[in-house]
């Protein structure tokens, strides 16, 4: 799918950026929470939205409690379109990608730093505290 201009009002941006990416990040976070329910408020997932020549970072976490997730977005950064602007416009993109990678490494470290799993009986009435989104 190709359009001549990507902005915040196109259907593709509204569908992918505001619906699909948050649902995918929530599903990934639900899988992380299933493995370590005690760290629900410490875990988060990170994603990137690339639309045309624009890049945006999205972070999803559960700040308090165990049911409501928060989505945090950065401003949209555009890839430089002229060689003269390469030095000025490309550095923020590199910083954004580097900070996204650092956040992913830290989230991986938090997810893997867990204690021994307790033995549970099959058929116990345990329900997951943070449910994934249900969509087709």
Contacts of 5 (CB under 8 A, 6+ apart): 52
Which is nearest to 56 in space by CA: 26, 86, 25, 84?
25
pTM equals: 0.75
d(CA 4, CA 91): 25
Query: In the numeric block, which tokens belong to residue 100?
Result: 């996204």
**Where in the chain are the domains?**
11-112
pLDDT of residue 123: 63
Tens of pLDDT, residues 90-107: 999 999 999 999 999 999
Query: In the numeric block, which tokens belong to residue 42?
Result: 């410490």
SS3 state of residue 102: helix
pLDDT of residue 128: 64
SS3 state of residue 5: coil
CA 131 to chain centre: 16
d(CA 52, CA 49): 10
Which residues does the chain have with pLDDT short of 70?
Answer: 1-9, 117, 122-129, 134-136
Backbone dihedral region for residue 8 (phi beyond 0: left; psi -120 to 50: alpha; all else: beta) = alpha
């Amino acid at each position: 799918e190709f359009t001549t201009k990507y902005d915040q009002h196109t259907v593709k941006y509204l569908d992918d950026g505001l619906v699909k990416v948050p649902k995918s990040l929530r599903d990934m976070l639900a899988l992380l929470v299933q493995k370590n329910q005690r760290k629900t408020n410490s875990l988060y997932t990170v994603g990137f939205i690339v639309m045309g020549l624009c890049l945006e970072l999205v972070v999803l976490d559960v700040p308090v409690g165990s049911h409501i997730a928060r989505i945090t977005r950065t401003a949209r950064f555009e890839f430089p379109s002229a060689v003269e602007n390469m030095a000025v416009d490309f550095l923020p993109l590199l910083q954004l990608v580097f900070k996204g990678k650092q956040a992913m490494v830290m989230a991986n470290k938090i997810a893997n730093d867990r204690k021994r799993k307790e033995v549970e009986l099959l058929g116990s009435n345990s329900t997951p505290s943070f449910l994934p989104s249900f969509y087709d």
